[in-house]
Structure 1
Amino acid sequence: MRAMSIRHRLLFWGVLVAVLTALIWAVVRFVSPAPPRSLVMSTGVSDGAYHHFGEHYKEILRANGIALELRTSSGGVENLQRLNDGQVQVGFVQGGTGLLALDYDALPSATPLRSLATVAYEPVWIFTHSLDLSKGLGALAGKRTAIGVPGSGNNKVALQLLSVYGVVAGGTQPTADGTTFIQDGGLAVVDMLARHQIDAAIIISAPQAPAVQKLLADSSMHLASLEHVQGLARRFPYFRPVVLKRGSVDPGRNLPPHDVDLLATTANLVVRDELHPALSYLLLEAAQQVHKLPTLINRPNDFPSPEGTDFPLSIEAERYFKNGRPFLQSYLPFWAANYVQRLLLLLVPLAAILVPLARVLPAMVSWRRQSKIYRRYGELKFLEADLASRQLDDQERRNARAQLDHIEKEIVQSKFPLDFSDKVYTLRQHVDYVRAQLARQSEGPG
């Protein structure tokens, strides 16, 4: 009986440990897995604003123990393709090329991509030597215009704007009127303009882009100010009018010499929806550090912003912009905060099991001990009733004595808490009482 009890006890604790182990594994594996230590980001051309931003993100993530791999691309369109294909987990996507820009009624389930924020204005910079484009881009007919590398958002939007004004070209070959589109971008375009190899360049990029910075600082370059920015912004909802103020580039040289009306898209920081939440928050923190500063176009803290995203805003981004950074990350380093958060997620289900168990288990143990005593009382009652109803023969009396000895031995060897002492001693007294009755019966009638 004692060996059986030990086996039952071991079985109980073994099952409990197995259940808890399975629960912890499920939480760690599915509910709160550790964030990966590496991440791949698709940026843009090596001398463009996207890659410039990516370098800053890389340093911030490295300081938090995450290795960020940057992959250059032709721009937002290629980044979008890589994100959709799962080749990268995060990338910059130009405004006007995402799901919501193309279909305002699209459901979040229609795409695996989510926006964390818009992070910058990307004006349409149109630089020429001396062409007057204030009335529109029709003046570029018959000219050589750089429109960005093939497959880029720059290329796509430039072609769209030119076509509105009836400026088209047959690929890279000039048309009958001499219109030629040069499919190149970045600093190469700056050099081509300086050498008069092209007449104009359409660059869609943040003001921080090295090519834009160089052209803005060159007083020989003319930056087009379009009269139709309001109308074009109505025609293409992903555009918004912005103004480059007079003297904002270089007050000493009065650059630009007048306010310049520009069209602008927004750059979206986009991730795949399966990205670990902790990394989403870390990217948002990096975006806050990289994009909060003012530029020639925006004021301090205009970015990052949850407004005007081209994809549904991620759950983490919604919480971030509503409540700020997660509580633990406000006081602990990234990995320490993540460890504590995961530990809390483990403790909650454990507490949900152990707290009720801690209440029920003592009652179960107490009931089991009482039932052991009550069973022995039942045996004694049956034996006492048998003694009172008839005269036992010698063999029956020997069996009765052995039964009484077994009951007493089991009670003595069993471990009971102090609050059971009175019950145990009372049971032993009853055993002695029945033993005395048995002895009187064996002596015969007096």
Structure 2
Amino acid sequence: MAEQTHRSGREAWKVALPAIGLVIFGFWVAYQFVQPAPPKHIRMATGSADGAYHKFARQYVAHLAAEGIELELVPSSGTLDNIAMLHRGEVDIAFVQSGVAADTEDKPLWSLGSLFLEPLWVFVHDSQEVALLRDFQGLRIAVGAEGSGTRPLALELLAANGIDHSNALLLDMGGDAAADRLTAGEIDAAIFVASPQADYVVHLNKTQTVRLFGFKRAAAYARLYPHLSSVVVPQGLIDLARNLPDADVELIAASANLVTTEEFHPALIDLILQTARRVHGSAGWFSDGGQFPSPDFLAFPLLKEAERFYEYGPPFLQRYLPFWAATLIDRLKVMLLPLLVLLIPLFKTLPPIYRWRIRSRIYCWYRDILAVEKQFREAGEATPQMWKELEMIDDEVRRIAVPLSYADELYDLRLHIELVRESMQTPS
């Protein structure tokens, strides 16, 4: 019985092994089309260490670390520097201010969405009486550092108001350096494009010797420059106790974008945007809760994977599984194709093949039995050679091992051998 079971199992393996090999081959072919795993380490260009970009980026580090992704922050002088690093491939993703530069390089850049509105903060020393930007003639003005997004926007707007190097001292400085010199009275005005959370913006908004310049023609700027929006700092928003500002102040604002290249891994796009939603999704000075990240106010065209995120939300698997598990399943889903294409037909064909192989061990002897019977009928009597052949067939058949489910067919064969034997014993 054990020998019979062993032989049946061996026969099953003879049928199954080629099928298993075919499935493995199908998986190997399909694996060639599986997308590489997302990288565990990415680099992000931020901005100056004292700016809002860098402050927000530190929150990204914490959120991504929880998903097993190491985010390396690369400080820079600002938006133009960030764009240059993206083009050179030195970083994978960057914060970029909208409306700063056209994408004219061979390596196109793409936006993942806008994150928040960045007002154009113009702070003026109390000693200066100015109402419009055109009144800034003759002033010492910090217009932002080289490579920052502030500088080209500030120069563009000042030039539109007739202010340039010929009638004002335009200084290439920004951040804390510009804020300190303005507070000390060493310059007359400083321009920043920054989040309200930037340290130097917070400091200047509460400095008594400095006042926030309001754009009385904010609506006009928003119409003339599509990448700019009109926003309002309501009375008392900065400091209720001191009633700062003491009246509504109109400002114009650009937007902060997350920008990357086509090489950025698609799975990371969804993860980054989910992180951006956690970091920037709450209500702020100039936005409602859930407004950001947004497919509006873009610096570059929206990447198609990001567009799908805004339309449908995070991928189904990433909503319920850890990032590594969701991406693994998503990458390997292409393997389902050979599984379905190969296994379903195999499940239908293997049983008939197995039955054919088992029965072939039985039916093949009928040819020899018929040959002996034919010889007997032609000769009219049984010769010793015929008896020898029939006995050999009977002996071989008795050694055949088949599964119990096929025993009836084996015994039918033995009965047919006995029937031929009886016919050979009966005189013609």
TM exceeding 0.5? yes
1:399-418 per-position Cα deviation (integer Å, ceiling 9, x unaligned): x5565456545544444333
Residue in structure 2 matched with residue 69 of structure 1 by the alignment: 72
- Cα–Cα, structure 1 residues 151 and 437, in superposed 2: closer, same or farther, change >3 Å? same
Pick one of 74, 86, 89 that aligns with 1:83. 86
The residue type equivalent to 2:68 in the other structure is: G
Partners of 1:392 and 1:197 lie apart in 2 by 133
**1:259-298, aligned counterparts within 5 Å?**
259-298=248-287
Residue in structure 2 matched with residue 124 of structure 1 by the alignment: 120
- How many percent of aligned residue pairs carry the same amino acid? 37
Aligned partners of 2:34 and 2:332 also within 8 Å:
no
Residue in structure 2 matched with residue 187 of structure 1 by the alignment: 176
CA shift at 1:392, angstroms?
8.7
2:19 paired with 1:40: no
Aligned partners of 1:149 and 1:185 also within 8 Å:
yes
Residue in structure 2 matched with residue 167 of structure 1 by the alignment: 163
Residue in structure 1 matched with residue 352 of structure 2 by the alignment: 363
Partners of 1:292 and 1:189 lie apart in 2 by 30
The residue type equivalent to 2:183 in the other structure is: A
2:24 paired with 1:51: no
2:418 paired with 1:418: no
Q: CA RMSD in A?
A: 3.2
In structure 2, list runs of 5 or more residues that go unmatched.
1-7
CA shift at 1:238, angstroms?
0.9
Pick one of 207, 210, 214 that aligns with 1:221. 210
The residue type equivalent to 1:148 in the other structure is: G
Greater relative contact order (CA < 8 Å, ≥ 6 in sequence): 2
The residue type equivalent to 2:144 in the other structure is: G
- Cα–Cα, structure 1 residues 393 and 385, in superposed 2: closer, same or farther, change >3 Å? closer
Residue in structure 1 matched with residue 140 of structure 2 by the alignment: 144
CA shift at 1:249, angstroms?
0.5
Partners of 1:97 and 1:27 lie apart in 2 by 44
The residue type equivalent to 2:270 in the other structure is: Y
**1:190-209, aligned counterparts within 5 Å?**
190-209=179-198
Size of the alignment, in residue pairs?
419
The residue type equivalent to 1:201 in the other structure is: A
Aligned partners of 2:143 and 2:171 also within 8 Å:
yes
Residue in structure 2 matched with residue 300 of structure 1 by the alignment: 289
The residue type equivalent to 2:369 in the other structure is: L
Structure 1 residues 110-119 or 59-68, which shifts more? 110-119
Normalising by structure 2, report the TM-score: 0.85
The residue type equivalent to 1:432 in the other structure is: E
Partners of 1:376 and 1:369 lie apart in 2 by 13
**1:210-359, aligned counterparts within 5 Å?**
210-339=199-328, 341=330, 346=335, 349-359=338-348
The residue type equivalent to 1:375 in the other structure is: C
Residue in structure 1 matched with residue 416 of structure 2 by the alignment: 430
Normalising by structure 1, report the TM-score: 0.82
CA shift at 1:388, angstroms?
2.0
2:49 paired with 1:60: no
CA shift at 1:201, angstroms?
1.2
- Cα–Cα, structure 1 residues 143 and 333, in superposed 2: closer, same or farther, change >3 Å? same
The 3-state SS of whatever aligns with 2:241 is: helix
Aligned partners of 1:28 and 1:34 also within 8 Å:
no
Aligned partners of 1:27 and 1:33 also within 8 Å:
no
CA shift at 1:254, angstroms?
1.8
CA shift at 1:28, angstroms?
5.8
1:136-170 per-position Cα deviation (integer Å, ceiling 9, x unaligned): x222233221111212221221122122122222x
Aligned partners of 2:19 and 2:346 also within 8 Å:
no
Partners of 1:149 and 1:22 lie apart in 2 by 59
CA shift at 1:69, angstroms?
0.4
Pick one of 348, 368, 373 that aligns with 2:362. 373
Residue in structure 2 matched with residue 114 of structure 1 by the alignment: 110
Aligned partners of 2:382 and 2:424 also within 8 Å:
no
Partners of 1:25 and 1:182 lie apart in 2 by 62
The residue type equivalent to 2:210 in the other structure is: M
The residue type equivalent to 2:265 in the other structure is: H
Partners of 1:347 and 1:231 lie apart in 2 by 57
Structure 1 residues 225-234 or 319-328, which shifts more? 319-328
- Cα–Cα, structure 1 residues 254 and 360, in superposed 2: closer, same or farther, change >3 Å? same
The 3-state SS of whatever aligns with 1:241 is: strand
CA shift at 1:239, angstroms?
0.9
Residue in structure 2 matched with residue 172 of structure 1 by the alignment: none
CA shift at 1:431, angstroms?
2.3
Residue in structure 1 matched with residue 5 of structure 2 by the alignment: none
The 3-state SS of whatever aligns with 2:180 is: helix
1:152-201 per-position Cα deviation (integer Å, ceiling 9, x unaligned): 221221122122122222xxxxx4x4x22211211111111112222211
Residue in structure 2 matched with residue 92 of structure 1 by the alignment: 95
In structure 1, list runs of 5 or more residues that go unmatched.
104-109, 170-174
Structure 1 residues 293-302 or 41-50, which shifts more? 293-302
Aligned partners of 1:247 and 1:256 also within 8 Å:
yes
